Structure 1
Amino acid sequence: MRIRLSQAALGAAMAATLLLASPAVAADTATDVPAWTLTEGTDEGADTTGTPRTLSAYSLPPDSWCVSTYGSKVCFEHHGDVVWVLDTASDGMSAIGGVYTDYGRAPEACRNKSGYNRWVSCDKDYAESGNIRLRALRYDGDTGKFYLPDAYSGWLPVDGSW
C-alpha cells in the first residue's frame, strides 16, 4: 500500500517533527551564567595587530594570563587589575570576559560591544591575596542571552606571583 501526502501535508509533518525534536533551550545557549554585574569595557582604540594604548609600559599579558574561545578572548593584567576583552568573531554578538574570585566577591563581567577585532578594558580592584578565574563567551544584548562555546582559565593569582 502506498500513502501519498500532498506537499503541504508533508511540509507540515516535517515542521511538526522538527518542532518536537527541538530542545527548549538552544544547544549553544549558556544556562549556567551567574547574575553577573556587566560592565561595558572602554574601547582602547587598538585592533589585534597593535598593543592597546594604555599598556604603554607593558605588552598585553602573555597567553598564560588569557583564555579564548570562538568569538571571545579574555586576558588579565595584574598590574592595575585590568580585564581585557577582544571580540574575535564578526557575528553581531558582544564578547564577554567573566571573572570569578576565590574569596567571595560577586562574579563580574566585562563586555566588549566595540565590535570585531577591537580590544576593550575594564579596570577592577581585586584583593591582592586572592585568585581570579576568567571565562570567555559571547553575549546577545538584544535577548540578554549568553552563548557557548565558552572557555575557562585556571585560577590566576591577582598579584601576579606564580
Structure 2
Amino acid sequence: MRRRLAVPMVSAAVAIGILGVFTGSASAASWEVNTGIETAYDPDELGYFNQRGDACAIGSPSGRVCFDRGDDGIYVRDEKNDHKSVTGYWLTGNRKGKCVNKAGFGKWVYCSKNFTDHKAIDIWLEYNGHKFLVTGNT
C-alpha cells in the first residue's frame, strides 16, 4: 500500500518543482535588445542634451550613451576604434534593455523606445567591469 502512494507523491513533487522553475523564469523581465539605427544627429555638437537636461553618460573609454526625453530615444556612440560594437543599457520601472551600436567607430546610433512618462531611468555603459551610470527621468 505504501509503495502505491509513494510513486504518485514523488511524481507530483517533481511536477510541482518543474512548474515552479518555469513559472519563476517567466515572471522575470527579459532584456529588450535593439540594434541601433545610424544617425547623423550628434547630441554633443548641437548641445541638445545640455540645454534640455537630458541624460548622457560621459567618461567611458568605449563610448557614450544618451537619453532623449522628448522622443524616448536612446543614443549610443562608439568611441573606441577596436572593431567591436558598444552597447548602451537602460532600466526603467519593470523594463530593461540594450541598444547596440554596430555602426562603428565615431558613429551615433538611435534606438526608439516608448517609456512611461515621469519615471526614473538609469542608462549606462559597461567597460572593463566598470559601470558608467547616469540617472534621469522619462
Task: Give TM-score scaled by structure 1 length.
Answer: 0.58
Taking a change above 3 Å as real, the CA distance of residues 116 and 60 of structure 1, as seen in their structure-2 partners, is: farther
Kept in 2, the 8 Å contact 1:37–1:108? The answer is yes
Kept in 2, the 8 Å contact 1:88–1:116? The answer is yes
Long gaps (5+) in structure 1: 1-33, 52-58, 139-146
Partner SS state of residue 43, structure 1: strand
Identity over aligned residues, as a percent? Answer: 22
Taking a change above 3 Å as real, the CA distance of residues 74 and 129 of structure 1, as seen in their structure-2 partners, is: same
1:39 is aligned to 34
Partner SS state of residue 93, structure 1: coil
The structure carrying a bigger helix percent of its residues is 2
1:99 is aligned to 90
2: CA distance between counterparts of 1:104 and 1:46? 29
Matches of residues 70-109 of structure 1 in structure 2 within 5 Å? 70-101=61-92, 103-105=93-95, 107-109=96-98
Which residue identity does 1:157 align to in structure 2? N
Partner SS state of residue 61, structure 1: helix
Q: CA deviation at 1:46?
A: 5.4
1: CA distance between counterparts of 2:117 and 2:130? 30
Q: CA deviation at 1:36?
A: 2.7
1:61 is aligned to 49
User: Deviation per CA, 1:97-152, whole angstroms, max 9, x where unpaired?
Assistant: 10011x212x10100010000000011110002111001136xxxxxxxx544311
Matches of residues 16-27 of structure 1 in structure 2 within 5 Å? none
Kept in 1, the 8 Å contact 2:54–2:67? The answer is no
Task: Give TM-score scaled by structure 2 length.
Answer: 0.67
Kept in 2, the 8 Å contact 1:39–1:111? The answer is yes
1:125 is aligned to 114
Which residue identity does 1:113 align to in structure 2? K
1:143 is aligned to none
Say whether residues 1:152 and 2:133 are aligned partners: yes
Kept in 1, the 8 Å contact 2:64–2:77? The answer is yes
User: Deviation per CA, 1:18-69, whole angstroms, max 9, x where unpaired?
Assistant: xxxxxxxxxxxxxxxx953220000013578855xxxxxxx54128610131
1: CA distance between counterparts of 2:108 and 2:120? 23
Partner SS state of residue 153, structure 1: strand
Runs of 4+ residues deviating >4 angstroms: 46-51
